[in-house]
Amino acid sequence: MTFAWLRTWKLGTKSVMLHPMRSLLTVLGILVGVSSVIWLLAIGEGISVKAQEQIASLGADNVIVRTVRPSNDATQGIEGPLPYGLTREDFSTIKKSVPTLERTVRIREVRQRFSYSTRSFEGRLVGCDPEFAEINQLKVDKGEFISDYHNGNQDNVCVLAATTAQRLFGYMDPLGETVKVEELRFRVIGVMQPRAASGGIGGSLAAQDFNLDIYIPIESLWQYVGDFVAQRGAGNLNTEIVELSQLTLRVDDVDNVMRTAALIEETLARRHTKMEDYAVVVPLELLEQARTTRIMFMVFMGLIAAISLLVGGIGIMNIMLATVTERTREIGIRRALGAKQRDITRQFLVETIVLSVAGGATGVIGGFLCGPVVSLARAGLERFFPNAISTLPEVMRDVEPIIIPWSIPLAFGISVAIGVVFGLYPARRAASMDPVDALRHE
């Protein structure tokens, strides 16, 4: 029995090799299908992991409360500067009424012009507490970050982002130098390491670019810059009063995050009844949503790739049906010499399995080329279409495919299964031929 099977496999492989071009095209269909399964799942996993990393960087035990500019409908009828957003009183109330908070970080952001000597540019002035660097994963390159001492004394000190230091000072050492922020002067006490921009998460938490920042104690910002903001729009001057841009609140236990977020929302809802000018973002909740979306995304990508395998299976059936027609006389001779129907079925089924295994194996090899090919394609697109690439979200621009281990046996197994399923009908059709009619076939 074993000898018969070995002989069948040998004969099946030989029959496939008799038509190399036809077999190559059939294998190519399976190869594309298997590679598509591995590639699409790998790219989907890479995008998902990147998105989850961005959300996780916000802190699973954090609750972020962000000031949001209210709609024009909500601000109609308000004369003079528009007061909106989080206030210092909001912060004080939350800190007193929410017992599960472990740490609170206040942030105020203002667009300002920075200058040193003859160099100047517009960037983001960030008034913050000392913990700001930790929660945003900022690392000091030179000097130090602002401290509670600086905050308490409302010192005129600042810390420069890496690009800010480069633009203002070039190759000079900025420590101890004085930077002008509009008409105010701040002494440089530190320079931060470069930090990649964070992606926007939801409509209430925009992407943040940390490269053109200057950080000062938030108490100093309130003292010297104030809450009044004037922005020149299309032919008019918009004036606003904003006290806080964001509160980042660390909860004492991850299990308490959702309950704490609900309590914060309830507290703010009682205080902000006239307009919707804040948003509460819970990274833990976003992380769970991202994981659920990942599963749905992978299923969707897998279904798309499965279509390619299905097309490859149809190609196998088409080739084998043509092969049965071409070899009708051969089938008649074999039957006349004593071959049973199961022998004919086995012969043609083996040929389809050989094609499927060859396509599946080469498809797996092609699947491992996903990373290099994506990197090469991205480099080419960045070279020839830089503007189009720059408009893509960071999660898409920097995605690195991650091959899922179980996708390899899955894709290979499906390719073999498709070979068996789509090869079964041609094999049975060949086996059911009448030997006499087969011998008469020209």
Q: What is the DSSP string of 341-373?
A: HHHHHHHHHHHHHHHHHHHHHHHHHHHTTHHHH
Give the pLDDT confidence score for residue 115 in this predicted structure. 94
Give the pLDDT confidence score for residue 125 in this predicted structure. 93
Distances in Å between the alpha carbon of 175 and those of 90, 143, 151, 186? Answer: 36, 7, 19, 11
Burial 11-36 (b: 16+ CB within 10 A, else e): ebeebbeeeeeebeebbebbbbbbbb
Give the pLDDT confidence score for residue 363 in this predicted structure. 87
Is the sign of the CA dihedral 30, 32, 33, 35 positive or negative? positive
Question: pTM value?
Answer: 0.61
Classify the phi-psi angles of 226: left when phi > 0, otherwise alpha if psi is within -120 to 50, otherwise beta: left
Residue whose pair of structure tokens reads 């079925």 in the numeric block: 345
Give the pLDDT confidence score for residue 394 in this predicted structure. 63
In this structure, are strands 140-143 and 157-160 parallel, antiparallel, or unpaired?
unpaired
Q: Is 240 in contact with 81 (CB distance < 8 Å)?
A: yes
* Residue 346, number of CB atoms within 10 A of its CB: 19
Residue 175, Cα to own-chain centre: how many angstroms? 38
In the three-class reduction of DSSP (H, G, I as helix; E, B as strand; rest coil), residue 227 is classed as coil
In the three-class reduction of DSSP (H, G, I as helix; E, B as strand; rest coil), residue 225 is classed as coil
Burial 48-60 (b: 16+ CB within 10 A, else e): bbbbbebbeebbb
Classify the phi-psi angles of 202: left when phi > 0, otherwise alpha if psi is within -120 to 50, otherwise beta: left
Give the pLDDT confidence score for residue 204 in this predicted structure. 45
Residue 44, Cα to own-chain centre: how many angstroms? 8
Q: Distance from first CA to last CA of the chain, Å, rounded?
A: 33
pLDDT tens per residue, the chain (442 residues)?
Answer: 555 566 666 766 777 677 778 778 778 888 888 888 888 888 878 877 776 666 666 666 788 899 988 877 666 667 667 888 899 999 999 988 888 888 889 999 998 999 998 999 999 999 999 999 888 778 999 999 999 999 999 999 999 999 999 999 988 999 999 999 988 999 999 999 987 665 555 444 555 778 889 999 999 999 988 888 776 655 566 788 888 999 988 888 877 888 888 899 899 988 888 888 888 888 766 666 666 777 777 777 777 767 777 777 777 777 777 777 666 677 677 767 777 777 777 777 787 888 888 888 888 898 888 888 888 887 887 787 777 766 666 656 677 888 888 888 888 888 888 777 877 777 777 767 766 665 555 5
Burial 186-222 (b: 16+ CB within 10 A, else e): bebbbbbeebeebbebeeebeebebbbbbbbbbbbbb
DSSP 413-424: HHHHHHHHHHHH
